[in-house]
Every structure is written in structure tokens, then in C-alpha cells.
Amino acid sequence: MELRVLVADTTDPYFNLATEDWIFRDMSANSKVLFLWRNDRSIIVGRGQNVWSECDLKKVEQDEVNVVRRHSGGGAVYQDLGNTCFTFMSGREPGLTTKDLYRRNNEILISALKTLGVQAEASGRNDLIVERDGQPFKISGSAFKESKDRCFHHGTMLMDVDLTRLGTYLTPDSKKLQAKGIKSVKARVLNLVDIAPRIGHESFCSALIDAFFEKYETRVPVEHLDASSLRAIEAIKAYHDQLRSWDWIFGKTPHFELKLQDRFSWGGVELHLDTERGHFKNVKLYTDSLLVDMITEVSSYLMGQPYTVEGVQLALKRHLDHQPAEPEILRELYSWLGEQL
């Protein structure tokens, strides 16, 4: 058995997730690996989730928060430097189920927390909780991914996350959105500093590394990964570029529907949108305006455009190229639509 512990010094979420994927693919199937890192402010969504229904993208973009789609399933999370990320990787072991691997890794996590004065327990398969004032609070959530001969279990540990931002970013606008993606389950959460004030990223990582070594009854040198060394690895760069791409983050969004309506000085509109892979697919527009032909033409110009403000602006440009009778009304209508996305 080969034991490895790797700690990333970069806080770029795209590089960290790309590094995680590279380690997972590159490691020996005989390895037991612990990978630790932190991310700058980010919304991380599961592979099968709808970005638009999981977070308030307007606020996220205004505050320059990263939006990242990971390769594993599970729900959406907010991360910042008050959050520690961990990944356990190993080859598939005969006779061990996914449940067994979760249990083994949770034992390591719980043991590490215990040395820091935190009494935690597993809740279901994916979460760790602590009790405060007689109520359970989630301190850690995780997800699982496996391939033919290996698997990983990764998750987050709430140290001192800005919970106000968590609630702000993970509360999408109240649009009439019907999404077919997998929705996150909201739970009461708690920062570990609220029950163990001296705990932090470094102390938790140190305790977790010790618990990992104790579990496997051996110690190895810790490998520190810096951004410059990661950028030199071609496979990591390729994974990084994929994770940053619009096609991966938004184009992987499952089909969803949206209904919007409003009234303007020139009439009312009701817009029904279907999107697929992050693009307008079916668009139907109803209006009581006297300019019904010009208004309903909006549907055909939106079809096939990306479901973004830029896509709406491109549709407007193409519509204006055909010299409509009331261009200012169209500008108002397209501007309104862009504000709703």
C-alpha cells in the first residue's frame, strides 16, 4: 500500500478541482491518498445541478464570486477561506461497499475533530453534525465519485465561513423556475469556531493528517503543491481549462423552464422560456400590445442564443438590424429580459 498526503497552497478553485482530478487519475490503484486545500469565494455546484436554480447569479457576478461545476454529484455549496476541503482517494477494495468507505473516512474525520475538542458524529452517509443547545447542526457535507478501479470521497469542513454570504448567494431570485436538475437540500449549519474558537484551517489539517496516518499505521512526508508547479502539468491545465469554460459550467445545466411577465407603457408581455444546455430552446411570447407582430418576433431572435445577458444583447442586435418600426420599445423589452436572467 502506498500512502500519500498532498496539500495545495493555491486557493484557485479551478486549479484545486483540476488537481484533485489529476491526482485521482494519475495515482496508483494501490494508493491511499489524502488531499487538502481551500478555495477563494466560490459557489460549487454538483455535476447534475442547475446553476440558475441553485444560486443568485446576479449577486454572485456582482461580487466576483467564482462559479464552479465539479465532476461529482451532490448539492451546491458556498466556499471561502473559512472552509477546508478534503478528499480521500483509494483503489476499490474487494468486499468494501461505498457505505464502508464513507464510514472509514468519517471515522478519520471524527477522530481528528475529537483531538481539537469537537464531538462530531455522522448523519446519514454524507454529513457530519455537532449538537448545540440540543439541536443538530451540519459542519461537513461530502460527495462520492468512483471509476472502474478507484474512488474518492470529498467534502468540506466549515471552520469560519461567512454564513451571511452563504445565505445570500445560495438563495436564488424568486422566479417561476421549473428546473429538472438535482436541487440542493438546505440544512442548518454551524462554524466550528463557534464551539472551538481556536480551530482553524492549519490546525484542522494537521489533526486530520495525524488521524490519517494513525488509521493506516504509517507516516509519510507531506507533499506541498504550489500554483507554479501545478501550471506546469499539462493534464492539470487541460482539466483547469475545462472547469473554467462556459460550456462546462453553464452548458451542462439540465433543461429548465422559466415564465416571466410584466407590463410596460405600450402593453403587457408574458414570456415562456425553455432552455437546454444553457441556451434558449423554445421561446413563446404573448402580448396585448398593438405592436404584436414586432413583439412576438422576439421569440425567433432569442432561439439558440446562450441563456446570458450577452446572448440577449446579440438577439437584440440582430433584431435591430432588420429595422423594426419601434426600436426603443424593443430595447426596453430586451433590457428587461436581460435583467431577469
Whether 84 and 225 map to the same domain: the answer is yes
Q: Does 145 share its domain with 270? A: no
Give dist(CA 333, CA 259) in Å, integer: 15
If asked whether residues 132 and 193 sit together in one domain, one would say: yes
* CA 306/CA 15 separation, integer angstroms: 26
Residue type, 94: P
Calpha distance 247→60 (Å, rounded)? 18
179 with 310, same domain: the answer is no
3-state SS class at 338: helix
Per-residue pLDDT, averaged over 238-257, amounts to 81
Strand blocks (E) in the chain: 2-8, 31-37, 42-45, 66-69, 77-79, 83-91, 121-123, 127-132, 135-146, 150-158, 176-179, 222-225, 256-264, 267-276, 279-287
320 and 198 in a single domain? The answer is no
pLDDT at 175: 47
CB 243 within 8 A of CB 22: no
Cα gap 54→172, rounded to integer Å = 6
Q: Which of 249, 280, 295 is the last residue of a domain?
A: 249
Q: Are residues 135 and 213 in the same domain?
A: yes
Q: How far apart are CA 14 and CA 20, in angstroms?
A: 10
243 shares its domain with 269: no
CA neighbor of 68 nearest in space, from 81, 58, 54, 84: 54
User: What number is the average pLDDT over the span 142-163?
Assistant: 91
Asked whether residue 166 falls in the same domain as residue 300, the answer is no
Same domain, 57 and 177: yes
- Using only C-alpha atoms, the chain has a radius of gyration, in whole angstroms, of 24
Type of residue at 251 = G
Pair 203, 266 in one domain? no
- When divided into structural domains, the chain yields a total of 2
User: Do residues 102 and 88 lie in contact, with contact meaning Cβ atoms separated by under 8 Å?
Assistant: no
- % of the chain beyond a pLDDT of 90: 48
Q: Is the pLDDT of residue 229 over 60?
A: yes
pLDDT for the residue 184: 53
For 157, the domain range is: 2-249
Whichever domain contains 206, its CATH number is 3.30.930.10
Of 13, 36, 21, the closest CA to residue 222 belongs to 36
Task: Identify whether residues 184 and 243 lie together within a single domain.
Answer: yes
Computed from CA positions of residues 205, 210, 216, 221, in that sequence, does the dihedral angle turn out positive or negative?
Answer: positive
- Per the model's pLDDT, the better-predicted residue between 144 and 41 turns out to be 41
Q: What is the pLDDT of residue 206?
A: 98
Nearest to 230, CA basis, from 249, 243, 213? 243
Strand-by-strand arrangement of the 42-45 sheet = 66-69, 42-45, 77-79
Last residue of a domain, one of 234, 249, 264: 249
Q: Which of 22-26, 73-77, 190-194 has the lowest mean pLDDT?
A: 73-77
Average pLDDT in the 138-158 region? 90
| pLDDT value for 105 | 96
- Residue ending a domain, among 210, 228, 249, is 249
Mean pLDDT of the region 209-236: 93
Helix, strand, coil percentages in the chain from 3-state DSSP, rounded to 5: 35, 30, 35
Same-domain check for residues 31 and 154: yes
CATH code of the domain in which 270 resides: 3.30.390.50
Tens of pLDDT, residues 54-89: 888 889 989 999 999 988 777 788 999 999 999 999
pLDDT digits (tens, 9 = 90+) for 111-147: 999 999 999 999 977 899 999 989 999 999 988 888 8
DSSP 30: T
**pLDDT for the residue numbered 176:** 39
Residue 166 backbone dihedrals phi, psi, to 5 degrees: -55, -50
Residue with cell 435591430: 320
Q: What is the DSSP string of 35-88?
A: EEE--SSEEEE-TT--HHHHS-HHHHHHTT-EEEE-SS-S--EEE-TTEEEEEE
pLDDT band at 255 (very low <50, low <70, confident <90, very high): low
Q: Residue 325: how many CB atoms within 10 A of its CB? A: 9
| pLDDT tens digits along 273-285 | 887 777 888 888 8
Helix axes 234-244, 13-26, angle to 10 degrees: 130
Find the farthest-apart pair of alpha carbons in the chain and give their distance in angstroms, rounded: 79
Decide which of 268 and 198 is more confident: 198
* CA dihedral sign, ordered 110, 24, 184, 196: positive
